[in-house]
Structures are given as structure tokens and as C-alpha cells.
Amino acid sequence: MRIKLTWMILASGTILAVAPLHAQTYDPNYPVCLQVYVPRGGYIDCSYTSLSQCQATASGRAAQCYTNPYYAYAHKPLGPVYRHRVY
């Protein structure tokens, strides 16, 4: 019984480890993404360099454009500013 249970756990772990993984949705090289809605799901395409370029593609479709939350070259807020006191 114990050996059978061990093999079942090992087989389950192997099956779960071999399961396909999803690719990264957001491309960090482009600042704008297009989300397209279709009856059985949809997809996200982050390959636009401007909002107007994305909006032209989305025109007439069930889609929306938004800024890429993972854009690699986005301006990051600066950390705390340390000021030196002059005595």
C-alpha cells in the first residue's frame, strides 16, 4: 500500500511538472498594450509604440488600449531626497 501511494505521488508530481507554461503576457519593450475581447477569452498584444498607433488598430473591434504596467523604460520615481543641513 505504501509503495503504491509513493508511486502515485511521484506520477502526479511528474505530470504537474511537465504541464505547459504560459508565456509572459506583457512585453517590457513596448509602452502600450492592446487587449482584445473575443467570445472565448481574448488576448493581450504589447507591441505598440504609441497610444494612437494602438487605438488605430483597436478601432472597430472589441478592444482597448492601455499603458504597459511592465514597460522597462518607464520613469521610475526617485527615492527619498536627502538634504544636508548647513549649520
Predicted confidence (pLDDT) per residue in 65-74, tens digit: 999 988 887 6
E-strand stretches of 1-87: 32-38, 41-48, 63-67
Q: What is the pLDDT of residues 15-38, one digit of tens each?
A: 655 555 556 678 888 999 999 999
CA 62 – CA 42 distance, rounded (Å): 10
List the domain range (segments joined by +) for residue 34: 22-72
60: left (phi over 0), alpha (psi -120 to 50) or beta: left
Strand pairing class (63-67; 41-48): unpaired
Residue 77 falls inside a structural domain: no
- φ, ψ dihedrals at 15, nearest 5°: -65, -45
Confidence of residue 60 (pLDDT cuts 50, 70, 90): very high
Q: How is residue 12 written as a grid cell?
A: 502526479
How confident is the model at residue 35, as a pLDDT?
Answer: 95
Total structural domains within the chain? 1
Specify the range with the lowest mean pLDDT, choosing from 7-21, 30-44, 46-60: 7-21
Q: How is residue 45 written as a grid cell?
A: 498584444
Residue 37 falls inside a structural domain: yes
Residue 48 falls inside a structural domain: yes
Residue 10 falls inside a structural domain: no
**Average pLDDT, rounded, for the chain:** 81
Residue 45 falls inside a structural domain: yes
